[in-house]
Amino acid sequence: MFAQAMLRPLLRTTRPQILPSNIQPRSFTTSTILRDSSSALPAKKPVGAFRGGLFGFLTGTIVAGSAVYYYILSEYRVSNEMLTEDIFALQAATQKLQTYIMELENKVDQLQKKK
C-alpha cells in the first residue's frame, strides 16, 4: 500500500493525456515581437572605487562621530551629577561648620561677660 502511494505520482506522469477533440495542447513559444525585441535594460553605471570609498568613509565617520558624541554626552552627565553631589555635600559641611563656629563665639562671649 505504501509503495503504491509512492509510485502513484510517477504513474500519472507516464500516462498519455487524452484531451477532448476541441482542445489543442498549449505550446510554450513566444510571439515574434517579444522574441525579436532587443531592447535590453540600460547598463547600470558602476559606482566606482572613489565614489564608493568616499561614501563609505563619510558614512563610517558619521556613525563613529555620533557614537562618540553620545558616549561623551553620557559621561558628561555622570560627571555633572557627581560634581553637583559634591557641591551639595560641601555646602552642608560649610553650614555645619558655620553653626559650630557661631556656637563657639557665643560661648566665648558668655565666658567673657562672666569675668
Cα 78 to Cα 5, 51, 53, 72, 85, distances in angstroms: 72, 41, 37, 10, 11
Q: What is the CA radius of gyration of the chain?
A: 46
- pLDDT score of 81: 97
* Residues 95, 97, 99, 105, CA torsion sign: negative
**pLDDT tens digits in sequence order for the chain, 115 residues long:** 555 666 666 555 555 556 556 666 666 665 555 555 556 666 666 667 677 888 999 999 999 999 999 999 999 999 999 999 999 999 999 999 999 999 999 999 999 988 7
- pLDDT score of 65: 97
Rounded Cα–Cα distance for residues 115 and 110 (Å): 9
- pLDDT score of 114: 84
Mean of pLDDT over the chain: 80
Rounded Cα–Cα distance for residues 90 and 96 (Å): 10
Cα maximum dimension of the chain: 142
Q: Which three cell numbers stand for residue 9?
A: 505520482
